[in-house]
């Protein structure tokens, strides 16, 4: 393999892939080693396609993919042994294995770094048994097993496509704790697609927003969360002032007559202007990530 770039785990350059009416890309993205990045976007935005491209399950029409300083196809086997992947859906019915034990025997042989101790521990924690038949596993059980396979060979990169879909809260906590353990060394990388905002708030260092096959931006999570706020002020006091940072003004709700809600993407500037005009701020609240995404989609914002 090529010499590992210690600072970069994933690098996309001009990556594009036609998908019927939707075209993914062109995408340019760089993710440094040692960080957890969450991908947030509506269904059909291209997240799962991006993961399949990263795993060389689909071929890009244009552009380059570099993982851990290496690229497809010449270094595919050695590269995939350093990547853990939980796909959106499992296709184990295509494999001639009846039980978890048989499938595990097949999977573990492919990874020289297979950690049986970690595998056994996670099987116990997730309440799975080797004699369980694959054909009767529930969706939640399948997600648990796929995650165990993805992490039990101690990969350098984890690619997780909605890994907690179908999990109960107890299994979800186990998964989040194990991902936290995985990141403790400081040189591992996680890229995870999720709709669960709690996962992003709890785990993510960076957030990548996707919409209609395009990247709307890569953001440092805490900076993004601090950079969008809602202010509630009196309608009569606010009047028709043009305040910096305000991207939307909403009429008062039935329960708060005479109050308007100001959405700002530059809250420090907006707050300073409100103070300058001696406008009393009734309440302030950070925006939720899904609401921020809706504004980014509306504005076509792109930031790397």
For residue 257, pLDDT beyond 70: no
Asked, as a colleague might, if the bond just before 73 is cis with ω within 30 of 0, I would say yes
Count of residues in the chain: 304
Hunting for tokens 């075209």 — which residue is that?
23
Round to whole Å and give the CA distance between 235 and 232.
Answer: 9
Instruction: Tell me the pLDDT band of 250, cut-offs 50, 70 and 90.
Output: confident
Instruction: Tell me the pLDDT band of 110, cut-offs 50, 70 and 90.
Output: very high
Contacts of residue 173, defined as CB under 8 A and 6 or more positions apart, other chains included, come to none
**Burial of 153 from C-beta contacts in 10 A (0-12 / 13-18 / 19+):** buried
User: What Å distances lie between residue 209 and 11, 186, 205, 292, CA to CA?
Assistant: 16, 24, 13, 10
- Rounded to the nearest integer, the mean pLDDT of the chain is 89
Residue 229 tokens read as: 């706020």
Cβ atoms of 248 and 216 closer than 8 Å: no
Region of poorest pLDDT, from 171-185, 248-262, 274-288: 248-262
- Residue 121 host element (H or E): helix 116-125
Contacts of residue 76, defined as CB under 8 A and 6 or more positions apart, other chains included, come to 56
**Chain-centre distance of CA 11, in angstroms?**
16
CA atoms within 13 A on the CB side of 252: 15
For residue 303, pLDDT beyond 70: no
| Tens-digit pLDDT profile for residues 143-175 | 999 999 999 999 999 999 999 988 999 999 999
Between 290 and 157, the more confident residue is 157
Round to whole Å and give the CA distance between 48 and 60.
Answer: 14
For 122-171, give the DSSP string: HHHHTT--TT-BGGG--HHHHHHHHHHHHHTT--SEEEEESTTTT--HHH
- pLDDT value for 237: 62
Q: Reduce the DSSP state of residue 193 to 3 states and report it.
A: strand
Q: Where are the beta strands (DSSP E) in 203-252?
A: 206-211, 214-220, 229-234, 246-250
- pLDDT value for 304: 43
- pLDDT value for 2: 39
| Tens-digit pLDDT profile for residues 164-219 | 988 999 999 999 999 999 999 999 999 999 988 889 989 999 999 999 999 989 99
Q: Which of 153, 161, 164 is nearest to 51 (CA)?
A: 161
Contacts of residue 194, defined as CB under 8 A and 6 or more positions apart, other chains included, come to 38, 39, 40, 160, 162, 163, 164, 200
Q: Which of 131, 122, 132, 196 is nearest to 154 (CA)?
A: 122
Round to whole Å and give the CA distance between 221 and 298.
Answer: 20
pTM (2 d.p.): 0.88
Round to whole Å and give the CA distance between 271 and 281.
Answer: 9
């Amino acid at each position: 393999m090529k010499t590992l770039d210690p600072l970069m785990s994933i690098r996309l350059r001009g990556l594009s892939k036609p998908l019927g009416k939707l075209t993914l890309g062109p995408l340019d993205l760089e993710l440094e080693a040692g960080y957890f990045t969450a991908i947030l976007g509506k269904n059909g935005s291209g997240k799962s396609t991006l993961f399949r491209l990263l795993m060389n399950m689909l071929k890009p029409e244009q552009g380059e993919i570099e993982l851990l300083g290496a690229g497809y196809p010449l270094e595919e086997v050695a590269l995939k042994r350093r990547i853990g992947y939980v796909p959106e859906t499992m296709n184990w019915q295509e494999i001639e294995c009846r039980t978890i034990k048989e499938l595990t025997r097949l999977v573990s042989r492919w990874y020289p770094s297979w950690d049986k101790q970690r595998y056994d521990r996670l099987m116990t924690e997730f309440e799975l048994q080797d004699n369980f038949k694959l054909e009767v596993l529930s969706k939640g059980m399948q997600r648990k097993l796929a995650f165990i396979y993805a992490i039990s060979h101690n990969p350098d990169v984890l690619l997780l496509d909605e890994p907690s879909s179908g999990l109960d809260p107890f299994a979800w906590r186990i998964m989040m704790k194990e991902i936290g353990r995985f990141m403790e060394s400081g040189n591992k990388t996680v890229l995870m697609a999720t709709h669960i905002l709690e996962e992003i708030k709890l785990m993510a260092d960076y957030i990548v927003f996707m919409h209609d096959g395009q990247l709307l931006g890569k953001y440092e999570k805490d900076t993004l969360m601090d950079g969008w706020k809602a202010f509630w002020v009196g309608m009569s006091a606010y009047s028709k002032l043009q305040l910096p940072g305000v991207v939307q003004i909403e009429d008062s709700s039935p329960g708060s007559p005479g109050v308007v809600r100001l959405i700002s993407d530059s809250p420090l500037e907006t707050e300073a202007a409100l103070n300058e005009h001696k406008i009393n701020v009734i309440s302030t609240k950070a925006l939720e990530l899904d609401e921020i995404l809706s504004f980014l989609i509306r504005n076509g914002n792109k930031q790397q």
